[in-house]
Structure 1
Amino acid sequence: MSLKKSIRFIVVKSVGQYINILRIVHPKKALHLSYTLFSHPRVGRLSKDNLPTVLQDTHKETFQHNEHQFQTYTWKGNDTKILLVHGWESNSARWEKILPYLQQSGSTIIAIDAPAHGQTSGIEFNVPRYADFINKAVKELKPNIIIGHSIGGSACLYHQYLYPETSIQKMVILGAPSDLKTLLDNYIKMLSINSKMYPVLEKHYLKNFNTKLDNFSAAIFAKQIKIEGIIAHDTNDTVVAFEEGKKIAHNWEKGHFITTNNLGHSMHDDTLYKEIYHFLFEAKK
């Protein structure tokens, strides 16, 4: 283990021990800290004065939604529109490597910054809020295709589950987690938080999102999705387990499962991008 990883491991475990102690003396503060660490991204912000090169020559538009503002970046093309939805602690610049392939179609391509990421407002990220932002973008921009990476893919599935009658005709999901329960389990294990925190966090989700963790599952959402799509997942994904992708694919009747190897969680790969292009623009309906 490298020195950097060793230091991070020690810091993570120390935070977990602090939460365990705090749970005994001040349970409300322990809940607040646990939820904050789980839902407040540490990186992924962008400054409008120092945007990555790939985002600089785009049409930029800020949408107002409730008390929030979310940022979009558009590479203008024809009437076919593709909406790109990034994942946790990332931003719209993550699509740089797939852009040349999508642009071959001549399509208009729109990337959205997630809540509390990029140039979008807020400090808290969660899938219901992200899906709400996606719905606003879909209503305003009317994309034909939506592509989501990681938890952005989960948000796309949740959105399609909630709002099946939209302009979206095809969907591509890359390295997405299925179950919120699994994410929370992994988070608790990573920090070595006392398992007694789990029902407390679960109660918090039930109160704020009106859903039980067991029911908040992309695999469950996929059962109701009628449009055609791709689920791609790498066997060596160390961030989101390969089994998560399999669960989604198993339940999505019109979902085509693509297995990749040695791409990791980023899923950047010319062969995969060519296959996605073929599915979106060349495959027979």
Structure 2
Amino acid sequence: MTIKKGIRFITLKSVGSYINFLSYVRPKKAVALSYALFSQPRVGRLDKNKLPKILQNTEKETFHHNEHHFQTYVWKGNETKILLVHGWESNASRWKKTLPHLQKSGSTIIAIDAPAHGQSSGKEFNIPLYAEFINKAVEKYQPTLIIGHSIGGAACVYHQYLFPDTSINKMVILGAPSDLKVLIDNYISMLSLNTKIFSLLESRFIDRFNFKMEDFSGQKFASQFNIPGLIAHDTADKVVAFEEGKKIASNWKNSQFIETKGLGHGMHDDELYQKVIAFLFSE
């Protein structure tokens, strides 16, 4: 174990021990802290005066949604529009390697910043809010194609479940988780949290979003889909288990699954992009 990893391990365990202690003496504070750690990204913000080069020469639009605002970036092309949805602790600039491949098709490309990421507002990230942001962007731009990476892919799946009758007629999901419960279980084991915290978090999700953890499942949502889907996942993904991608594909009637090797969680690869393009632009 490297020194850096060792320090992170000790820090995580001590944070976990503190939350476990709080769960007995101040359960409300314990659940607030554990939920905040789970839902607040530490990186991924963008300063509008220091935007990455890839985002500088784009048409930008800020959307307002209830008390939130979110940012989009547009690379102008033809009438075909592709919406790009990034993942956790990232932002619209993560598509830098993807863009040249998509732009060969001549399409108009739109990328979105998630809640609490990029130039979008808020401290908290959650999939239901991200799905609402996606829907506002879909209503405005009318894309026919959508690509989501990681938890952005999970948000695309949830969006399609909530809003099945939009302009979107094909979806690509890269390295995405299926089940919220798996994410929570991983988080709990990473911090060595006790079972009391698990049940407190479960209650928090029911109060906040009106669903149980096990009901929030890409595998369940995808069983309702009629649009074609391409799901790609890497066997060496250390962030989201390979099985998660397989789960989403297993219930999606009109889908194909691509197993990649050695790409990790990033999923940047010329050969994979060629398959994505072939899928998006085949009749």
TM-score, L = length of structure 1: 0.98
Aligned to 1:231: 231
Is 2:131 the counterpart of 1:131? yes
User: Unaligned regions of 5+ residues in structure 1, if any?
Assistant: none
Q: Offset of 1:3 from its aligned partner?
A: 1.1
Q: Offset of 1:172 from its aligned partner?
A: 0.3
- Report the secondary structure of 1:130's partner residue: helix
1:73-88 aligned at under 5 Å gives the runs 73-88=73-88
Is 2:112 the counterpart of 1:119? no
Aligned to 1:164: 164
Aligned to 1:257: 257
Aligned to 1:103: 103
Tell me the distance in 2 between the aligned counterparts of 1:271 and 1:2.
Answer: 33
Q: Offset of 1:229 from its aligned partner?
A: 1.2
Tell me the distance in 2 between the aligned counterparts of 1:255 and 1:144.
Answer: 16
- Report the secondary structure of 2:64's partner residue: strand
- Asked whether the 8 Å contact 2:23–2:196 carries over to 1, the reply is no
Runs (4 or more) in structure 1 with deviation over 6 Å come to none
Aligned to 2:203: 203
1:269-284 aligned at under 5 Å gives the runs 269-281=269-281, 283=282
Tell me the distance in 2 between the aligned counterparts of 1:145 and 1:277.
Answer: 11
- Report the secondary structure of 1:49's partner residue: helix
Tell me the distance in 1 between the aligned counterparts of 2:53 and 2:11.
Answer: 34
Tell me the distance in 2 between the aligned counterparts of 1:207 and 1:195.
Answer: 19
Is 2:57 the counterpart of 1:57? yes
Aligned to 2:31: 31
- Asked whether the 8 Å contact 2:174–2:267 carries over to 1, the reply is yes
- Report the secondary structure of 2:13's partner residue: helix
Q: Deviation digits for residues 102-121 of structure 1, max 9, x if unmatched?
A: 00010000000000000000
Tell me the distance in 2 between the aligned counterparts of 1:252 and 1:196.
Answer: 35
Q: Deviation digits for residues 81-130 of structure 1, max 9, x if unmatched?
A: 00000001000000000100000010000000000000000010000010
Aligned to 2:219: 219
Tell me the distance in 2 between the aligned counterparts of 1:22 and 1:205.
Answer: 19
Identity %: 67
Tell me the distance in 1 between the aligned counterparts of 2:46 and 2:3.
Answer: 28
Q: Deviation digits for residues 181-204 of structure 1, max 9, x if unmatched?
A: 000000000000112211111111
Tell me the distance in 2 between the aligned counterparts of 1:66 and 1:145.
Answer: 26
Amino acid at match of 2:115: P
Aligned to 1:146: 146
Aligned to 1:16: 16
Tell me the distance in 2 between the aligned counterparts of 1:255 and 1:95.
Answer: 23
Aligned to 1:3: 3
Tell me the distance in 2 between the aligned counterparts of 1:130 and 1:255.
Answer: 23
- Report the secondary structure of 2:133's partner residue: helix
- Report the secondary structure of 1:196's partner residue: helix
Amino acid at match of 1:250: S
Aligned to 2:192: 192
For the aligned residues, what is the CA RMSD? 0.6
- Asked whether the 8 Å contact 2:153–2:176 carries over to 1, the reply is yes
Tell me the distance in 1 between the aligned counterparts of 2:243 and 2:17.
Answer: 30
User: Unaligned regions of 5+ residues in structure 2, if any?
Assistant: none
Tell me the distance in 2 between the aligned counterparts of 1:4 and 1:52.
Answer: 27
Q: Deviation digits for residues 237-285 of structure 1, max 9, x if unmatched?
A: 000000000000000011110000010000011100011011111x2x3
Residue correspondences, number: 283
Amino acid at match of 1:188: I
TM-score, L = length of structure 2: 0.99
- Report the secondary structure of 1:33's partner residue: helix
- Report the secondary structure of 2:48's partner residue: coil
